[in-house]
Amino acid sequence: MTPESVMMMGTEAMKVALALAAPLLLVALVTGLIISILQAATADQRNDAVVYSENHRRIYCHYYCRTVDAQSVAGLRPHLVH
């Protein structure tokens, strides 16, 4: 086997691999583009900073209220008990 024949076989193998994979890759590319366009068109237009702020406030309030309740029950802050 000469180096030229090895190169020809490698080139032909790459062409066959490309011919087999190209249709599947093209379908995946088009499907991904369509899905991303649909997601962008139907996305909620709220500002991410507002969503983060609301979630952060809820988490903080949940933690703080639970802490106050625990301290009230333990008698550390009796004036907070209703």
Sequence ranges of the domains in the chain: 1-43, 46-82
Q: What is the model's pLDDT at position 78?
A: 53
Residue type, 65: C
Q: Give the count of beta carbons closer than 10 Å to the beta carbon of residue 64.
A: 10
Task: Please compute, for residue 32, the number of CA atoms within 13 A of its CA located in the half-sphere on the CB side.
Answer: 6
CA 58, CA 13: separation in Å to the nearest integer? Answer: 59
pLDDT tens figures, 37-63: 999 888 766 655 555 566 566 665 655
CA–CA separation, 39 and 33 (whole Å): 10
Is residue 8 very low, low, confident or very high in pLDDT (cuts 50, 70, 90)?
Answer: very high
More confident residue, 36 or 44: 36
| Residue carrying structure tokens 């190169």 | 7
- What pLDDT, on the 0 to 100 scale, is given for residue 43? 78
